[in-house]
Structure 1
Amino acid sequence: MADLPPLREVIARHGLSASKALGQNFLFDEQLLDRIAAIPGDLAGRKVLEVGPGPGGLTRALLRAGAEVTAIEMDSRCLPALAELGEAFPGKLKVIQGDALKLDHAEIMGGEPFAVLSNLPYNVGTALFVRWLGGENWPPLWTSLTLMFQQEVAQRIAATPDNSAYGRLAVLAQWRSEAKMAMKVHRSAFTPPPKVMSAIVHVEPRDMPDGVSARVLERLTEAAFGQRRKMLRQSLKGVPGAVEALEQVGIDPQRRAETLSVGDFVALARVLSA
Protein backbone atom coordinates (compact mmCIF):
# COMPACT_ATOMS: atom_id res chain seq x y z
CA MET A 1 0.00 0.00 0.00
CA ALA A 2 1.50 3.30 -1.08
CA ASP A 3 2.05 5.88 1.67
CA LEU A 4 0.47 8.99 0.18
CA PRO A 5 0.45 12.55 1.51
CA PRO A 6 -2.93 14.08 2.40
CA LEU A 7 -4.90 15.33 -0.60
CA ARG A 8 -5.03 18.87 0.77
CA GLU A 9 -1.24 18.89 0.89
CA VAL A 10 -0.98 17.67 -2.71
CA ILE A 11 -3.42 20.34 -3.92
CA ALA A 12 -1.63 23.10 -2.01
CA ARG A 13 1.79 21.99 -3.27
CA HIS A 14 0.64 22.06 -6.90
CA GLY A 15 -1.29 25.31 -6.46
CA LEU A 16 -4.55 23.71 -7.59
CA SER A 17 -8.00 25.21 -7.21
CA ALA A 18 -11.33 23.92 -8.48
CA SER A 19 -12.29 25.42 -11.85
CA LYS A 20 -15.90 26.54 -12.09
CA ALA A 21 -15.63 26.54 -15.89
CA LEU A 22 -14.69 22.85 -15.84
CA GLY A 23 -17.40 21.97 -13.31
CA GLN A 24 -14.84 20.90 -10.70
CA ASN A 25 -15.46 20.27 -7.00
CA PHE A 26 -12.81 18.37 -5.06
CA LEU A 27 -13.49 15.63 -2.48
CA PHE A 28 -10.94 15.25 0.34
CA ASP A 29 -12.62 12.72 2.67
CA GLU A 30 -10.61 9.51 2.11
CA GLN A 31 -13.13 7.33 3.95
CA LEU A 32 -15.96 8.64 1.79
CA LEU A 33 -13.90 8.07 -1.35
CA ASP A 34 -13.17 4.48 -0.26
CA ARG A 35 -16.92 3.92 0.25
CA ILE A 36 -17.63 5.17 -3.27
CA ALA A 37 -14.95 2.88 -4.71
CA ALA A 38 -16.56 -0.08 -2.91
CA ILE A 39 -20.05 0.39 -4.46
CA PRO A 40 -19.49 -1.82 -7.55
CA GLY A 41 -17.90 -4.59 -5.48
CA ASP A 42 -14.38 -5.98 -5.53
CA LEU A 43 -12.21 -3.99 -7.95
CA ALA A 44 -9.02 -6.00 -7.51
CA GLY A 45 -7.50 -6.58 -10.94
CA ARG A 46 -10.45 -4.93 -12.74
CA LYS A 47 -10.15 -2.23 -15.39
CA VAL A 48 -11.74 1.05 -14.41
CA LEU A 49 -12.42 4.19 -16.43
CA GLU A 50 -12.50 7.46 -14.50
CA VAL A 51 -13.52 10.76 -16.09
CA GLY A 52 -12.37 14.03 -14.54
CA PRO A 53 -10.10 12.75 -11.74
CA GLY A 54 -8.85 16.25 -10.93
CA PRO A 55 -6.04 15.94 -8.37
CA GLY A 56 -6.82 12.24 -7.93
CA GLY A 57 -8.98 11.86 -4.83
CA LEU A 58 -11.23 9.07 -6.14
CA THR A 59 -8.32 7.76 -8.21
CA ARG A 60 -6.44 7.03 -4.98
CA ALA A 61 -9.38 5.06 -3.63
CA LEU A 62 -9.68 3.05 -6.85
CA LEU A 63 -5.96 2.23 -6.84
CA ARG A 64 -6.10 1.29 -3.16
CA ALA A 65 -8.93 -1.09 -4.07
CA GLY A 66 -6.63 -2.82 -6.58
CA ALA A 67 -8.12 -1.43 -9.80
CA GLU A 68 -6.21 -0.74 -13.01
CA VAL A 69 -7.31 2.82 -13.71
CA THR A 70 -7.48 4.76 -16.96
CA ALA A 71 -8.26 8.40 -16.20
CA ILE A 72 -9.34 11.06 -18.71
CA GLU A 73 -8.48 14.57 -17.53
CA MET A 74 -8.95 17.78 -19.49
CA ASP A 75 -7.27 20.11 -16.98
CA SER A 76 -3.50 20.14 -17.59
CA ARG A 77 -2.95 21.68 -14.13
CA CYS A 78 -3.88 18.32 -12.55
CA LEU A 79 -1.49 16.18 -14.58
CA PRO A 80 1.58 16.55 -12.29
CA ALA A 81 -0.42 15.43 -9.24
CA LEU A 82 -1.78 12.46 -11.19
CA ALA A 83 1.75 11.62 -12.39
CA GLU A 84 2.89 11.41 -8.77
CA LEU A 85 0.00 9.06 -8.06
CA GLY A 86 1.05 6.91 -11.00
CA GLU A 87 4.56 6.67 -9.56
CA ALA A 88 3.11 5.51 -6.23
CA PHE A 89 1.16 2.73 -8.00
CA PRO A 90 3.51 1.59 -10.79
CA GLY A 91 1.75 0.26 -13.87
CA LYS A 92 -1.72 0.76 -12.39
CA LEU A 93 -2.63 4.25 -13.63
CA LYS A 94 -2.85 5.56 -17.19
CA VAL A 95 -3.74 9.22 -17.65
CA ILE A 96 -5.09 10.61 -20.93
CA GLN A 97 -5.41 14.35 -21.36
CA GLY A 98 -8.45 15.17 -23.42
CA ASP A 99 -12.21 15.67 -23.67
CA ALA A 100 -14.08 12.51 -22.62
CA LEU A 101 -16.97 13.47 -24.90
CA LYS A 102 -14.69 13.28 -27.93
CA LEU A 103 -12.80 10.07 -27.12
CA ASP A 104 -13.65 6.45 -27.95
CA HIS A 105 -13.87 4.84 -24.52
CA ALA A 106 -13.97 1.25 -25.80
CA GLU A 107 -10.79 1.87 -27.77
CA ILE A 108 -9.09 3.54 -24.82
CA MET A 109 -9.93 0.52 -22.64
CA GLY A 110 -8.48 -1.90 -25.20
CA GLY A 111 -11.84 -3.37 -26.15
CA GLU A 112 -12.05 -5.20 -22.80
CA PRO A 113 -14.80 -5.00 -20.17
CA PHE A 114 -14.45 -2.15 -17.69
CA ALA A 115 -16.27 -0.45 -14.84
CA VAL A 116 -16.84 3.31 -14.88
CA LEU A 117 -16.42 5.22 -11.62
CA SER A 118 -16.37 9.01 -11.68
CA ASN A 119 -17.09 12.12 -9.71
CA LEU A 120 -18.32 13.56 -13.00
CA PRO A 121 -17.76 17.24 -13.79
CA TYR A 122 -21.23 18.77 -13.55
CA ASN A 123 -21.03 20.37 -16.98
CA VAL A 124 -20.61 17.09 -18.91
CA GLY A 125 -22.13 14.48 -16.59
CA THR A 126 -25.54 14.08 -18.22
CA ALA A 127 -24.14 14.05 -21.77
CA LEU A 128 -21.66 11.30 -20.88
CA PHE A 129 -24.35 9.29 -19.08
CA VAL A 130 -26.72 9.37 -22.07
CA ARG A 131 -23.84 8.33 -24.33
CA TRP A 132 -22.97 5.32 -22.15
CA LEU A 133 -26.62 4.27 -22.12
CA GLY A 134 -27.09 4.58 -25.88
CA GLY A 135 -26.34 2.47 -28.92
CA GLU A 136 -27.74 -0.68 -30.47
CA ASN A 137 -24.91 -2.96 -29.31
CA TRP A 138 -25.89 -4.43 -25.95
CA PRO A 139 -24.67 -5.42 -23.43
CA PRO A 140 -22.04 -2.68 -23.48
CA LEU A 141 -18.37 -3.14 -22.64
CA TRP A 142 -18.91 -1.31 -19.36
CA THR A 143 -19.98 -3.65 -16.58
CA SER A 144 -21.30 -0.92 -14.30
CA LEU A 145 -21.54 2.86 -13.99
CA THR A 146 -20.94 4.39 -10.56
CA LEU A 147 -21.32 8.13 -11.01
CA MET A 148 -21.60 11.28 -8.94
CA PHE A 149 -24.32 13.68 -10.05
CA GLN A 150 -26.18 16.63 -8.65
CA GLN A 151 -28.86 15.03 -6.47
CA GLU A 152 -31.63 16.38 -8.70
CA VAL A 153 -30.14 14.59 -11.72
CA ALA A 154 -29.65 11.39 -9.70
CA GLN A 155 -33.32 11.49 -8.69
CA ARG A 156 -34.33 11.86 -12.34
CA ILE A 157 -32.32 8.76 -13.26
CA ALA A 158 -33.89 6.58 -10.55
CA ALA A 159 -37.41 8.06 -10.76
CA THR A 160 -40.63 6.09 -11.26
CA PRO A 161 -43.78 7.12 -13.22
CA ASP A 162 -46.15 9.78 -11.86
CA ASN A 163 -43.23 11.49 -10.18
CA SER A 164 -42.18 15.01 -11.16
CA ALA A 165 -38.57 13.77 -11.55
CA TYR A 166 -39.61 11.00 -13.98
CA GLY A 167 -38.62 11.65 -17.56
CA ARG A 168 -36.35 10.73 -20.43
CA LEU A 169 -33.31 9.98 -18.25
CA ALA A 170 -35.27 7.47 -16.17
CA VAL A 171 -36.52 5.56 -19.22
CA LEU A 172 -33.10 5.49 -20.91
CA ALA A 173 -31.46 4.33 -17.68
CA GLN A 174 -34.02 1.67 -16.77
CA TRP A 175 -35.23 0.00 -19.97
CA ARG A 176 -32.23 -2.34 -20.19
CA SER A 177 -30.35 -1.55 -16.97
CA GLU A 178 -30.87 -1.57 -13.23
CA ALA A 179 -30.41 1.97 -11.92
CA LYS A 180 -30.44 2.99 -8.27
CA MET A 181 -29.35 5.84 -6.05
CA ALA A 182 -26.52 4.29 -4.04
CA MET A 183 -25.45 7.13 -1.76
CA LYS A 184 -26.18 10.79 -1.01
CA VAL A 185 -23.24 13.14 -0.56
CA HIS A 186 -23.61 16.39 1.39
CA ARG A 187 -22.41 19.56 -0.30
CA SER A 188 -20.08 20.21 2.66
CA ALA A 189 -17.97 17.21 1.62
CA PHE A 190 -16.66 19.17 -1.38
CA THR A 191 -14.15 21.98 -1.79
CA PRO A 192 -15.51 24.41 -2.77
CA PRO A 193 -19.00 23.35 -1.63
CA PRO A 194 -21.41 23.33 -4.60
CA LYS A 195 -24.75 25.06 -4.24
CA VAL A 196 -26.62 21.76 -4.44
CA MET A 197 -26.49 18.31 -2.84
CA SER A 198 -24.97 15.39 -4.73
CA ALA A 199 -25.67 11.67 -5.01
CA ILE A 200 -24.05 8.53 -6.39
CA VAL A 201 -25.98 6.55 -9.01
CA HIS A 202 -25.08 2.92 -9.71
CA VAL A 203 -26.19 1.31 -12.97
CA GLU A 204 -25.72 -2.29 -14.14
CA PRO A 205 -26.75 -3.47 -17.63
CA ARG A 206 -29.24 -6.30 -18.05
CA ASP A 207 -30.67 -8.08 -21.09
CA MET A 208 -31.99 -5.88 -23.87
CA PRO A 209 -35.70 -6.43 -24.68
CA ASP A 210 -36.17 -8.29 -27.97
CA GLY A 211 -37.18 -6.39 -31.08
CA VAL A 212 -36.52 -2.89 -29.73
CA SER A 213 -34.28 -0.29 -31.37
CA ALA A 214 -32.42 2.00 -28.99
CA ARG A 215 -32.61 4.79 -31.54
CA VAL A 216 -36.41 4.46 -31.79
CA LEU A 217 -36.79 4.52 -28.00
CA GLU A 218 -34.54 7.58 -27.73
CA ARG A 219 -36.62 9.38 -30.34
CA LEU A 220 -39.87 8.44 -28.60
CA THR A 221 -38.74 9.66 -25.19
CA GLU A 222 -37.29 12.85 -26.62
CA ALA A 223 -40.63 13.70 -28.29
CA ALA A 224 -42.83 12.58 -25.39
CA PHE A 225 -40.95 14.37 -22.64
CA GLY A 226 -39.99 17.33 -24.81
CA GLN A 227 -43.64 18.36 -24.50
CA ARG A 228 -44.48 16.60 -21.26
CA ARG A 229 -47.43 18.88 -20.49
CA LYS A 230 -49.20 17.78 -23.66
CA MET A 231 -51.20 14.62 -24.29
CA LEU A 232 -49.35 11.88 -26.13
CA ARG A 233 -51.50 12.31 -29.23
CA GLN A 234 -49.94 15.78 -29.53
CA SER A 235 -46.40 15.24 -28.27
CA LEU A 236 -45.84 12.16 -30.45
CA LYS A 237 -47.26 13.61 -33.68
CA GLY A 238 -43.77 14.22 -34.99
CA VAL A 239 -42.78 10.54 -34.67
CA PRO A 240 -44.12 8.62 -37.69
CA GLY A 241 -46.57 5.88 -36.63
CA ALA A 242 -46.32 6.65 -32.92
CA VAL A 243 -49.91 7.83 -32.39
CA GLU A 244 -51.23 4.72 -34.18
CA ALA A 245 -48.89 2.55 -32.10
CA LEU A 246 -50.51 3.87 -28.92
CA GLU A 247 -53.77 2.16 -29.91
CA GLN A 248 -51.96 -1.06 -30.83
CA VAL A 249 -50.48 -1.42 -27.34
CA GLY A 250 -53.58 -0.20 -25.54
CA ILE A 251 -52.34 3.18 -24.31
CA ASP A 252 -54.88 6.01 -24.13
CA PRO A 253 -53.56 8.83 -26.38
CA GLN A 254 -54.94 11.37 -23.88
CA ARG A 255 -52.39 10.30 -21.28
CA ARG A 256 -49.20 12.26 -20.69
CA ALA A 257 -45.66 10.89 -20.93
CA GLU A 258 -45.01 10.95 -17.19
CA THR A 259 -47.81 8.42 -16.60
CA LEU A 260 -46.28 5.75 -18.86
CA SER A 261 -44.10 3.06 -17.35
CA VAL A 262 -40.72 2.12 -18.77
CA GLY A 263 -42.43 -1.03 -20.06
CA ASP A 264 -45.01 1.08 -21.89
CA PHE A 265 -42.29 2.98 -23.73
CA VAL A 266 -40.54 -0.30 -24.58
CA ALA A 267 -43.80 -1.72 -25.97
CA LEU A 268 -44.30 1.37 -28.13
CA ALA A 269 -40.72 1.26 -29.37
CA ARG A 270 -41.09 -2.44 -30.25
CA VAL A 271 -44.06 -1.69 -32.51
CA LEU A 272 -42.18 1.17 -34.21
CA SER A 273 -39.01 -0.92 -34.56
CA ALA A 274 -40.76 -3.68 -36.52
Structure 2
Amino acid sequence: MIHPTAIIDPGARLADDVEVGPFSVIGADVEIGSGCVIGSHVVIKGPTTLGCNNRVFQFASLGEECQDKKYHGEPTRLVVGDNNVFREGVTVHRGTIQDRGETTIGDHGWFMAYAHVAHDCVIGDHVIMANQATLGGHVTLGDHVILGGLAAVHQFCHVGAHSMCGGGSIVTKDIAAFVMVTGNPARTHGLNAEGLKRRGFESESISELRRAYREVFRSRRTLAEVLEEFDQQSLSPTMQQFVDSLKAAKRGLTR
Protein backbone atom coordinates (compact mmCIF):
# COMPACT_ATOMS: atom_id res chain seq x y z
CA MET A 1 0.00 0.00 0.00
CA ILE A 2 2.96 2.33 0.68
CA HIS A 3 5.67 2.34 -1.98
CA PRO A 4 9.17 1.69 -0.59
CA THR A 5 10.49 4.95 -2.04
CA ALA A 6 7.87 7.05 -0.21
CA ILE A 7 9.07 8.97 2.87
CA ILE A 8 6.62 8.93 5.79
CA ASP A 9 7.51 10.91 8.90
CA PRO A 10 7.14 8.89 12.11
CA GLY A 11 4.81 11.62 13.39
CA ALA A 12 2.33 11.12 10.53
CA ARG A 13 -0.84 9.11 11.18
CA LEU A 14 -2.21 7.14 8.23
CA ALA A 15 -5.20 4.81 8.23
CA ASP A 16 -4.29 1.19 7.53
CA ASP A 17 -5.69 1.20 3.98
CA VAL A 18 -4.11 4.45 2.75
CA GLU A 19 -2.10 4.09 -0.48
CA VAL A 20 1.04 6.19 -1.03
CA GLY A 21 2.81 6.18 -4.39
CA PRO A 22 6.50 6.37 -5.33
CA PHE A 23 8.66 9.26 -4.09
CA SER A 24 5.87 10.96 -2.15
CA VAL A 25 6.68 12.74 1.12
CA ILE A 26 4.28 12.78 4.09
CA GLY A 27 5.44 15.09 6.87
CA ALA A 28 4.95 15.24 10.61
CA ASP A 29 1.53 16.19 12.02
CA VAL A 30 -0.24 14.85 8.94
CA GLU A 31 -3.33 12.70 9.44
CA ILE A 32 -4.81 10.84 6.46
CA GLY A 33 -8.14 9.03 6.73
CA SER A 34 -9.34 5.71 5.42
CA GLY A 35 -9.63 5.12 1.69
CA CYS A 36 -7.27 7.90 0.62
CA VAL A 37 -5.01 7.35 -2.39
CA ILE A 38 -1.87 9.49 -2.57
CA GLY A 39 -0.17 9.34 -5.98
CA SER A 40 3.50 9.61 -6.84
CA HIS A 41 5.68 12.67 -6.13
CA VAL A 42 3.08 14.21 -3.80
CA VAL A 43 4.13 16.38 -0.84
CA ILE A 44 1.82 16.71 2.18
CA LYS A 45 3.09 18.78 5.11
CA GLY A 46 1.48 19.40 8.46
CA PRO A 47 -0.32 20.22 10.52
CA THR A 48 -2.75 18.82 7.93
CA THR A 49 -5.77 16.55 8.22
CA LEU A 50 -7.34 14.70 5.28
CA GLY A 51 -10.66 12.95 5.78
CA CYS A 52 -11.72 9.74 4.04
CA ASN A 53 -11.62 8.71 0.37
CA ASN A 54 -9.60 11.63 -0.95
CA ARG A 55 -7.44 11.13 -4.05
CA VAL A 56 -4.30 13.18 -4.62
CA PHE A 57 -2.60 12.98 -8.02
CA GLN A 58 1.07 13.37 -8.84
CA PHE A 59 3.03 16.52 -8.03
CA ALA A 60 0.28 18.02 -5.87
CA SER A 61 1.36 19.90 -2.72
CA LEU A 62 -0.98 20.07 0.28
CA GLY A 63 -0.36 21.84 3.58
CA GLU A 64 2.74 23.79 2.58
CA GLU A 65 3.65 27.07 4.28
CA CYS A 66 1.66 29.93 2.79
CA GLN A 67 2.90 32.65 0.47
CA ASP A 68 2.28 35.48 2.93
CA LYS A 69 5.09 37.71 4.15
CA LYS A 70 3.43 37.89 7.58
CA TYR A 71 3.87 34.15 8.01
CA HIS A 72 6.84 33.18 10.19
CA GLY A 73 6.48 29.46 10.69
CA GLU A 74 3.51 29.38 13.07
CA PRO A 75 1.80 25.95 13.37
CA THR A 76 -1.29 26.77 11.33
CA ARG A 77 -3.47 24.07 9.77
CA LEU A 78 -5.06 22.66 6.63
CA VAL A 79 -8.25 20.66 7.15
CA VAL A 80 -9.72 18.69 4.23
CA GLY A 81 -13.01 16.78 4.33
CA ASP A 82 -14.01 13.62 2.48
CA ASN A 83 -14.20 12.49 -1.16
CA ASN A 84 -12.14 15.26 -2.71
CA VAL A 85 -9.98 14.97 -5.83
CA PHE A 86 -6.76 16.98 -6.20
CA ARG A 87 -5.37 16.65 -9.71
CA GLU A 88 -1.83 17.14 -10.97
CA GLY A 89 0.10 20.08 -9.58
CA VAL A 90 -2.64 21.40 -7.28
CA THR A 91 -1.34 23.54 -4.39
CA VAL A 92 -3.21 24.15 -1.12
CA HIS A 93 -1.57 26.20 1.65
CA ARG A 94 -2.13 26.33 5.40
CA GLY A 95 -3.62 29.35 7.17
CA THR A 96 -2.13 32.30 9.05
CA ILE A 97 -2.52 33.41 12.65
CA GLN A 98 -3.75 36.78 11.37
CA ASP A 99 -6.96 35.01 10.35
CA ARG A 100 -8.49 31.69 11.47
CA GLY A 101 -5.14 29.91 11.44
CA GLU A 102 -6.71 27.32 9.18
CA THR A 103 -7.47 26.66 5.52
CA THR A 104 -10.61 24.55 5.23
CA ILE A 105 -11.92 22.41 2.36
CA GLY A 106 -15.27 20.62 2.58
CA ASP A 107 -16.44 17.41 0.92
CA HIS A 108 -16.71 16.21 -2.69
CA GLY A 109 -14.50 18.94 -4.15
CA TRP A 110 -12.84 18.61 -7.54
CA PHE A 111 -9.62 20.60 -7.94
CA MET A 112 -8.29 20.27 -11.48
CA ALA A 113 -4.68 20.52 -12.61
CA TYR A 114 -2.62 23.39 -11.17
CA ALA A 115 -5.49 24.99 -9.26
CA HIS A 116 -4.34 26.99 -6.22
CA VAL A 117 -6.05 27.48 -2.84
CA ALA A 118 -4.26 30.11 -0.77
CA HIS A 119 -4.02 30.57 2.99
CA ASP A 120 -7.12 30.91 5.16
CA CYS A 121 -9.57 30.06 2.39
CA VAL A 122 -12.85 28.38 3.32
CA ILE A 123 -14.16 26.06 0.61
CA GLY A 124 -17.65 24.54 0.77
CA ASP A 125 -18.91 21.19 -0.48
CA HIS A 126 -19.11 20.08 -4.13
CA VAL A 127 -16.86 22.90 -5.34
CA ILE A 128 -15.18 22.64 -8.74
CA MET A 129 -12.05 24.61 -9.59
CA ALA A 130 -11.01 24.01 -13.19
CA ASN A 131 -7.42 24.02 -14.47
CA GLN A 132 -5.27 26.84 -13.07
CA ALA A 133 -8.14 28.54 -11.23
CA THR A 134 -6.60 30.56 -8.39
CA LEU A 135 -7.79 31.88 -5.04
CA GLY A 136 -6.09 34.65 -3.12
CA GLY A 137 -5.90 34.44 0.65
CA HIS A 138 -8.99 34.58 2.89
CA VAL A 139 -11.42 33.71 0.06
CA THR A 140 -14.71 31.94 0.83
CA LEU A 141 -16.42 29.71 -1.75
CA GLY A 142 -19.94 28.52 -0.99
CA ASP A 143 -21.29 25.07 -1.77
CA HIS A 144 -21.50 24.03 -5.44
CA VAL A 145 -19.41 26.96 -6.70
CA ILE A 146 -17.75 26.40 -10.09
CA LEU A 147 -14.67 28.35 -11.19
CA GLY A 148 -13.73 28.03 -14.85
CA GLY A 149 -10.16 27.54 -16.02
CA LEU A 150 -7.75 30.40 -15.29
CA ALA A 151 -10.34 32.23 -13.18
CA ALA A 152 -8.78 34.26 -10.34
CA VAL A 153 -10.48 35.45 -7.16
CA HIS A 154 -9.05 38.40 -5.22
CA GLN A 155 -8.21 37.97 -1.55
CA PHE A 156 -11.06 38.35 0.99
CA CYS A 157 -13.78 37.85 -1.65
CA HIS A 158 -16.89 35.80 -0.89
CA VAL A 159 -18.40 33.73 -3.72
CA GLY A 160 -21.99 32.71 -3.04
CA ALA A 161 -23.31 29.16 -3.23
CA HIS A 162 -24.32 27.71 -6.62
CA SER A 163 -22.65 30.54 -8.53
CA MET A 164 -20.46 30.00 -11.58
CA CYS A 165 -17.45 32.00 -12.81
CA GLY A 166 -16.54 31.69 -16.47
CA GLY A 167 -13.04 30.80 -17.61
CA GLY A 168 -10.53 33.60 -17.29
CA SER A 169 -12.75 35.68 -14.99
CA ILE A 170 -11.01 38.16 -12.72
CA VAL A 171 -13.11 38.46 -9.56
CA THR A 172 -12.38 41.51 -7.40
CA LYS A 173 -15.73 41.86 -5.60
CA ASP A 174 -18.11 39.51 -3.82
CA ILE A 175 -20.47 37.36 -5.88
CA ALA A 176 -24.08 36.70 -4.98
CA ALA A 177 -25.42 33.18 -4.68
CA PHE A 178 -26.98 31.51 -7.76
CA VAL A 179 -25.53 33.84 -10.42
CA MET A 180 -23.13 33.52 -13.36
CA VAL A 181 -20.23 35.93 -13.84
CA THR A 182 -17.50 36.28 -16.43
CA GLY A 183 -15.03 38.80 -17.77
CA ASN A 184 -12.18 41.05 -16.62
CA PRO A 185 -13.32 42.52 -14.37
CA ALA A 186 -16.06 39.95 -13.76
CA ARG A 187 -19.66 41.03 -14.29
CA THR A 188 -22.95 39.19 -13.82
CA HIS A 189 -24.51 37.57 -16.87
CA GLY A 190 -27.67 36.01 -15.52
CA LEU A 191 -28.88 33.36 -13.16
CA ASN A 192 -27.12 29.98 -13.07
CA ALA A 193 -30.42 28.37 -14.03
CA GLU A 194 -29.00 25.31 -15.78
CA GLY A 195 -26.84 24.46 -12.79
CA LEU A 196 -29.82 24.83 -10.46
CA LYS A 197 -31.92 22.51 -12.63
CA ARG A 198 -29.19 19.86 -12.54
CA ARG A 199 -29.14 20.06 -8.74
CA GLY A 200 -32.87 19.52 -8.43
CA PHE A 201 -34.15 23.03 -7.75
CA GLU A 202 -37.87 23.30 -8.51
CA SER A 203 -38.99 25.45 -11.42
CA GLU A 204 -40.94 27.70 -9.04
CA SER A 205 -37.79 28.47 -7.05
CA ILE A 206 -35.82 29.20 -10.21
CA SER A 207 -38.56 31.55 -11.48
CA GLU A 208 -38.56 33.31 -8.12
CA LEU A 209 -34.80 33.77 -8.31
CA ARG A 210 -35.06 35.09 -11.89
CA ARG A 211 -37.46 37.80 -10.74
CA ALA A 212 -35.21 38.70 -7.83
CA TYR A 213 -32.15 38.73 -10.11
CA ARG A 214 -33.82 41.27 -12.42
CA GLU A 215 -34.67 43.52 -9.50
CA VAL A 216 -31.15 43.46 -8.10
CA PHE A 217 -29.02 43.47 -11.24
CA ARG A 218 -31.13 44.89 -14.07
CA SER A 219 -33.44 47.49 -12.55
CA ARG A 220 -32.45 51.09 -11.86
CA ARG A 221 -33.17 50.73 -8.16
CA THR A 222 -30.39 50.76 -5.60
CA LEU A 223 -29.44 47.58 -3.81
CA ALA A 224 -30.56 49.11 -0.52
CA GLU A 225 -34.03 49.79 -1.95
CA VAL A 226 -34.39 46.22 -3.23
CA LEU A 227 -33.19 44.70 0.03
CA GLU A 228 -35.61 46.84 2.02
CA GLU A 229 -38.45 45.47 -0.10
CA PHE A 230 -37.24 41.90 0.33
CA ASP A 231 -37.09 42.40 4.11
CA GLN A 232 -40.79 43.18 4.14
CA GLN A 233 -41.67 39.89 2.42
CA SER A 234 -41.98 36.33 3.65
CA LEU A 235 -39.15 34.65 1.74
CA SER A 236 -38.62 31.02 0.80
CA PRO A 237 -35.39 29.39 2.07
CA THR A 238 -33.86 29.70 -1.41
CA MET A 239 -34.71 33.39 -1.66
CA GLN A 240 -33.44 33.97 1.87
CA GLN A 241 -30.12 32.42 0.88
CA PHE A 242 -29.94 34.78 -2.10
CA VAL A 243 -30.75 37.82 0.04
CA ASP A 244 -28.28 36.80 2.74
CA SER A 245 -25.51 36.56 0.14
CA LEU A 246 -26.26 40.12 -0.98
CA LYS A 247 -26.19 41.43 2.59
CA ALA A 248 -22.93 39.60 3.32
CA ALA A 249 -21.00 41.42 0.58
CA LYS A 250 -18.09 43.29 2.17
CA ARG A 251 -15.94 44.10 -0.86
CA GLY A 252 -18.77 45.43 -2.98
CA LEU A 253 -21.02 43.30 -5.17
CA THR A 254 -20.11 42.01 -8.61
CA ARG A 255 -22.77 43.52 -10.90
Does the pair score TM above 0.5? no
The structure showing larger relative contact order (alpha-carbon pairs under 8 Å, at least 6 residues apart) is: 1
Q: Higher strand proportion, which one? A: 2
Which protein is richer in helix relative to its size?
Answer: 1
TM-score (norm 1): 0.28
